[in-house]
Amino acid sequence: MSDGARPRALFVGRTRYLLPLGKSIARKWDALSEELELRVLASGAREASTATDPRFVLVPSRRFDGPRFYAELPFRVARELRAFDPDVIVAESPYEGVAAQLARRLTRSRAKLIVEVHGDWHVSTRLYGSPARKLLGPLGDRLARFAVRSADGTRAVGAVMADVIRGAGREPVAVFTTYSDLGAFAGPTVPVPAAPVALFVGVLERYKNVAGLAAAWRLVAARLPDARLHLVGSGTDTEDRKSTRLNSSHTDISRMP
């Protein structure tokens, strides 16, 4: 990096983005762009879009999307290392960190690697996706520990994830809270609905105990016939949504992009 030049950062992650960016998430990347020259290598949203952003390199959604994304990721990162020549790579999780390590070796890049830990990697292969995915647990654990231990630095979302990193034998260089644009919730107030309403927003995976929510809501619906549950999310735990045995007058489901 030459004197006076902004640092160049390559962000690598599995997060899905739809271009043009929504107002809330755009504020985050625009703020970072004021401090860094950045490139984001991530997944594209399932929705079709012709919009572009020179900062974003998005992998389109395809069949067997997850396995293909990670199998190709070392080569995609290597391509960005050659074309963008960043000073630092910021990996969204240890799994992207493994790909970044392989890419650094392929290209002999001197870019530093920061591995972030947003969630416990011990559960990502066991409580997300197909139940058969748990067979990958031991391998996933070893790969995550390798990424954490071999990175130039690690960052944790909150104290709990900092302890997960320490369990792998490293001390995080930073602990931070997840990005949240509270301004996205600003706006005119609306009256509280007359009937009770509960809202769940999140991934519909076993890790979130959707089965527990379904069981609890059956009790609520029996006692409060006018109550409604609104689920906003997507994931593989669809059986628990079906198992609520609630008709449309009790439950609404909106799919996250």
pTM: 0.81
What is the SS3 assignment for 84-119? HCCCEEEECCHHHHHHHHHHHHHHCCCCEEEEEECC
Report residue 228 CA to chain centroid gap.
Answer: 28
Q: What is the pLDDT of residues 141-188, one digit of tens each?
A: 999 999 999 999 999 999 999 999 999 999 999 999 876 666 666 777
CB crowding 99-132: b at 16 or more within 10 Å, else e? bbbebbeebebebebbbbbbebbeebbbbbbeee
Tokens of 174: 């930073």
CA distance 12 to 9: 10
Tokens of 88: 């630092």
- Mean pLDDT (the chain) is 87
pLDDT grade for 256, boundaries at 50, 70 and 90: low
CA 209/CA 211 separation, integer angstroms: 5
The proportion of the chain whose per-residue pLDDT surpasses 70, expressed as a percent, equals 87
Assign 27 to helix, strand or coil. helix
Contacts 24+ apart (CB under 8 A), 4-8: 5/37, 6/35, 6/36, 6/37, 7/35, 7/36, 7/37, 7/87, 7/88, 8/36, 8/37, 8/38, 8/39, 8/84, 8/85, 8/86, 8/87, 8/88
Could you report the per-residue pLDDT of 72-131, keeping only the tens digit for each?
999 999 999 999 999 999 999 999 999 999 999 999 999 999 999 999 999 888 888 878
Q: Which of 160-164, 214-218, 244-248 has the highest mean pLDDT?
A: 160-164
- Can you tell me whether residue 44 is helix, strand or coil? strand
Instruction: Report whether 232 contacts 251 (CB < 8 A).
Output: no
Mark 86-96 as b/e (b = at least 16 C-beta within 10 Å).
bbbbbbbbbbb
DSSP 226: T
